[in-house]
Chain A
Amino acid sequence: EAGVTQSPTHLIKTRGQQATLRCSPISGHTSVYWYQQALGLGLQFLLWYDEGEERNRGNFPPRFSGRQFPNYSSELNVNALELEDSALYLCASSFGAATYEQYFGPGTRLTVT
């Protein structure tokens, strides 16, 4: 069974540009979570989507947004990129909203120059 996949693996953008990151959950999983892991810091919760709806949001500005598609895959969009947005962005999926276990993808390394 395929795990959570993310694309691209690496992304390099310049300040002010927009970045789009993609995530495909494990087959059968309806919930997708996005996390930011900046260098030397712990994972910070960004967004949670379930059944196409945004269910919860972390303490990030509105320029971080996303969506979940009917096939449960998800996009994370970051507008007006800033240098401090450089980080590893991790996507996780789970079977249903109340399940304990979240399975993580390999991440997208975003570098803003």
Chain B
Amino acid sequence: KNQVEQSPQSLIILEGKNCTLQCNYTVSPFSNLRWYKQDTGRGPVSLTIMTFSENTKSNGRYTATLDADTKQSSLHITASQLSDSASYICVVSGRSTLGRLYFGRGTQLTVWP
């Protein structure tokens, strides 16, 4: 069964600190993995997308890593800001399920001043 699991479920950090979110998946055969940021009540916005041949990708203060062998990914946020408070969702696409994405439940990040 194709699944995407994220941890932790929620996280609270102080402004300026770094944090790392985890994603494990079982989707196979794998096509690509994306990280989305979703503000409350809004649609998700793409942060990064990686294929199996990429093991790291950065977007400003966001850096995603991918280990396709262990089927794990992480999203590292550097020097957090209050505006980083949101749900971060790991999304995996499979090569045999064209057009269909598999979503994790997200990690709810709260940044305190």
Residue A25 lies at the interface, judged by CB distance under 8 Å to chain B? no
Could you tell me if B97 and A43 are in contact, using CB atoms closer than 8 angstroms? Answer: no
Q: Which stretch (B58-66, B69-77, B78-86, B103-111) binds chain A?
A: B103-111
Q: A88-B41, A105-B43 are in contact. Are A43 and B89 (CB under 8 A)?
A: yes
Residue A102 lies at the interface, judged by CB distance under 8 Å to chain B? yes
Task: Tell me the minimal C-beta distance from B99 to chain A in angstroms.
Answer: 4
Closest to B93 in A: A100
Instruction: Pick from B4, B99, B106: contact of A50, CB below 8 A.
Output: B99
Could you tell me if A4 and B99 are in contact, using CB atoms closer than 8 angstroms? Answer: no
A100 CA / B44 CA spacing, docked (Å): 15
Most chain B CB within a 10 A radius of its CB, from A98, A101, A104, A106: A104
Please, how many residues of chain A have a CB less than 8 angstroms from a CB on the other chain?
Answer: 29
Could you tell me if B32 and A100 are in contact, using CB atoms closer than 8 angstroms? Answer: yes
Residues from 52 to 74 in A contacting B, C-beta threshold 8 Å: 55-56, 58
Residue B45 lies at the interface, judged by CB distance under 8 Å to chain A? yes
Other A-B pairs beyond A56-B97, A100-B32, A104-B45, 19, CB < 8 Å: A31-B99, A35-B103, A40-B105, A42-B104, A42-B105, A43-B103, A45-B101, A45-B103, A56-B98, A88-B41, A90-B44, A92-B43, A97-B98, A98-B98, A100-B49, A102-B46, A103-B46, A104-B36, A107-B42
